Protein backbone atom coordinates (compact mmCIF):
# COMPACT_ATOMS: atom_id res chain seq x y z
CA UNK A 1 0.00 0.00 0.00
CA UNK A 2 2.97 2.32 0.60
CA UNK A 3 4.01 1.87 -3.02
CA UNK A 4 0.50 2.78 -4.18
CA UNK A 5 0.52 5.90 -2.02
CA UNK A 6 3.87 6.92 -3.50
CA UNK A 7 2.45 6.54 -7.03
CA UNK A 8 -0.55 8.70 -6.10
CA UNK A 9 1.68 11.41 -4.65
CA UNK A 10 3.89 11.39 -7.74
CA UNK A 11 0.90 11.75 -10.07
CA UNK A 12 -0.48 14.60 -7.96
CA UNK A 13 2.85 16.41 -8.31
CA UNK A 14 2.76 15.90 -12.10
CA UNK A 15 -0.81 17.18 -12.20
CA UNK A 16 0.01 20.26 -10.11
CA UNK A 17 3.02 21.15 -12.28
CA UNK A 18 1.17 20.75 -15.58
CA UNK A 19 -2.04 22.42 -14.41
CA UNK A 20 -0.01 25.40 -13.20
CA UNK A 21 1.81 25.60 -16.55
CA UNK A 22 -1.51 25.65 -18.38
CA UNK A 23 -3.05 28.22 -16.09
CA UNK A 24 -0.11 30.63 -15.84
CA UNK A 25 1.65 30.18 -19.18
CA UNK A 26 -1.29 29.10 -21.33
CA UNK A 27 0.59 25.93 -22.31
CA UNK A 28 -2.00 23.76 -24.10
CA UNK A 29 0.21 20.65 -24.08
CA UNK A 30 0.54 20.95 -20.30
CA UNK A 31 -3.24 20.99 -20.07
CA UNK A 32 -3.38 17.70 -21.95
CA UNK A 33 -0.80 16.19 -19.63
CA UNK A 34 -2.70 17.48 -16.58
CA UNK A 35 -5.92 15.87 -17.79
CA UNK A 36 -4.10 12.58 -18.38
CA UNK A 37 -2.61 12.77 -14.87
CA UNK A 38 -6.09 13.45 -13.45
CA UNK A 39 -7.41 10.26 -15.07
CA UNK A 40 -4.47 8.29 -13.71
CA UNK A 41 -5.04 9.72 -10.23
CA UNK A 42 -8.69 8.63 -10.42
CA UNK A 43 -7.68 5.07 -11.29
CA UNK A 44 -5.06 4.99 -8.55
CA UNK A 45 -7.60 6.27 -6.03
CA UNK A 46 -9.92 3.39 -6.90
CA UNK A 47 -7.04 0.98 -6.37
CA UNK A 48 -6.28 2.67 -3.04
CA UNK A 49 -9.88 2.30 -1.95
CA UNK A 50 -9.84 -1.42 -2.77
CA UNK A 51 -6.57 -1.92 -0.89
CA UNK A 52 -7.82 0.11 2.06
CA UNK A 53 -11.04 -1.90 2.34
CA UNK A 54 -9.08 -5.15 2.09
CA UNK A 55 -6.68 -3.99 4.82
CA UNK A 56 -9.59 -3.02 7.07
CA UNK A 57 -11.16 -6.47 6.66
CA UNK A 58 -7.89 -8.31 7.34
CA UNK A 59 -7.21 -9.41 10.90
CA UNK A 60 -5.20 -6.91 12.90
CA UNK A 61 -1.47 -7.62 13.17
CA UNK A 62 0.15 -7.69 16.58
CA UNK A 63 3.00 -5.21 17.05
Question: Where exactly are the structural domains of the chain?
Answer: 2-57
**Residues of 37-62 as b/e, b for ≥16 C-beta within 10 angstroms?**
beebbeebeeebeeeeeeeeeeeeee
> 0.95 exceeded by the pTM?
no
Q: What value does the mean pLDDT take over residues 42-56?
A: 96
Residue 13 to residue 40: CA distance in whole angstroms: 12
Confidence at 59, pLDDT banded by 50, 70, 90:
confident
- pLDDT, residue 15, reads 97
Amino acid sequence: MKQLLAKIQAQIEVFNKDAEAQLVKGNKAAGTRARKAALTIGKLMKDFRKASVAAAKAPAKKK
